[in-house]
Amino acid sequence: MIELGKMQYLKIDKMGPIGLLLISEDNSREDVLLPAEQVPTGGVQVGDEIEVFVYKDTNDDLTATTQKPKLEVGEIDYLNVVDLTQVGAFLDWGLKKDLFIPYTEQKGKLVKNEKYLVGLYIDKSDRICATMYIDNVLKSDSPYQKNDKAEGFIYDIKEDMGAFVAVDRKYHGLIPKSELYKYYSLGDEVEVRITNVREDGKLDLSLREKAYLQMDMDAETIMERLNNNDGILNLNDNSSPENIKLQLNISKKAFKRAVGTLLKNGKIEFVDDGIKLV
């Protein structure tokens, strides 16, 4: 099956002066033309497989290209506005034909030569279009399981919920506000750990390691701060969570865990209003 809006390997079925006629591996009746100017140099023959992206050209005909666009259907990225019209805007996505974003899929007024975060989808007319409604593009069928590591970037932040992350740029993920220990901005790339896969497939994420690993890292952070502060740190169990976060960038719960380990190992002791190196 030939997939619109995706990079895929297709088989050369016929060759001619105008290009290559490609079919899918299942030998279905579908075919698509790879224009002659797109044919790789070095020689190809009938039966060879070639990686292409399938989209619709300016005549709305299905066509293939060996160029890789900046994103595929179901993915999101920042794209530059190259033109504005009354019905929508056009974005540069790395192909000869610019990407259309309908007016109804825009948030706010777009400005030419500015970049905006968009996702790729196929509309009811079988056209590849962009949208700024990212949640409608991301999927919930990721291959990840609890404690797996992944990468993504932050596409939305809500103070009452946390940071929304596009894991692998295509799966729904959320870092709860309780897990955000420093300031993040839209577009920040993050490495995360999956803490839970919800029933709907969406991912709960953490920026921190599993507790027993993170505790050692937090203890190292405290020791480093002590060494850089003449062996004394004005933090203890009675310190506010805000003050601990400000000085160490960890939660109060994590601080107490790490301090307990350091006390047990005889590396620190409590003093008035704080802790000090032994």
What does the pLDDT read at residue 81? 97
Check: pTM over 0.85? Answer yes or no.
no
Domain that holds residue 270: 211-277
* Residue 120 maps to a domain: yes
- Of 43, 65, 87, the residue that ends a domain is 65
Please state, in angstroms and as integers, the Cα–Cα distance from residue 42 to each residue in 73, 108, 186, 228, following that order: 30, 48, 43, 61
For residues 178 and 132, state if they share a domain.
no
CATH number of the domain enclosing 219: 1.10.10.10
* Residue 71 maps to a domain: no
Please state, in angstroms and as integers, the Cα–Cα distance from residue 66 to each residue in 34, 52, 130, 145, 185, following that order: 8, 5, 21, 34, 34
* Residue 1 maps to a domain: no
CATH number of the domain enclosing 180: 2.40.50.140
* Residue 236 maps to a domain: yes
| pLDDT single digits (tens) 240-263 | 877 877 777 777 777 787 887 888
Residue 112 burial (C-beta neighbours within 10 Å; 0-12, 13-18, 19+) = exposed
For residues 272 and 216, state if they share a domain.
yes
Query: What order do you get walking across the sheet with 274-277 strand by strand?
Result: 232-233, 274-277, 268-271
* Residue 231 maps to a domain: yes
* Residue 229 maps to a domain: yes
Task: Spell out a b/e string for 9-48, using b for 16 or more CB atoms within 10 Å of the CB, else e.
Answer: ebbbeebeeebbbbbbeeeeeebbbbeeebbeeeeeeeee
What does the pLDDT read at residue 57? 84
Q: Which of 267, 266, 239, 269 is nearest to 254 (CA)?
A: 239
- Of 85, 107, 136, the residue that ends a domain is 136
What does the pLDDT read at residue 242? 78
Question: Cα separation of 22 and 42, whole Å?
Answer: 18
Question: Cα separation of 78 and 66, whole Å?
Answer: 22
* Residue 47 maps to a domain: yes
For residues 200 and 174, state if they share a domain.
yes
The one-digit pLDDT tens for each residue of the chain (278 residues) are 899 999 999 999 999 899 999 998 876 668 999 999 988 877 789 999 999 999 988 888 889 999 999 999 999 999 999 999 999 999 999 998 999 999 999 988 999 999 999 999 999 988 999 999 998 999 999 999 988 889 988 999 998 899 999 999 889 999 998 878 777 888 888 888 898 999 999 999 988 654 445 566 777 888 888 888 888 888 877 788 778 777 777 777 777 878 878 888 888 888 877 887 88
State the total domains in the chain. 4
* Residue 238 maps to a domain: yes
- Of 206, 227, 248, the residue that ends a domain is 206
For residues 269 and 215, state if they share a domain.
yes
For residues 82 and 41, state if they share a domain.
no
What does the pLDDT read at residue 263? 80
What does the pLDDT read at residue 214? 54
For residues 108 and 156, state if they share a domain.
no
For residues 84 and 61, state if they share a domain.
no
For residues 216 and 245, state if they share a domain.
yes
For residues 216 and 256, state if they share a domain.
yes
For residues 127 and 155, state if they share a domain.
no
For residues 168 and 122, state if they share a domain.
no
Residue 42 region by backbone torsions, left for phi larger than 0, else alpha for psi between -120 and 50, else beta? left
Question: Cα separation of 150 and 243, whole Å?
Answer: 30
Residue 95 main-chain phi, psi, to 5 deg: -115, 165
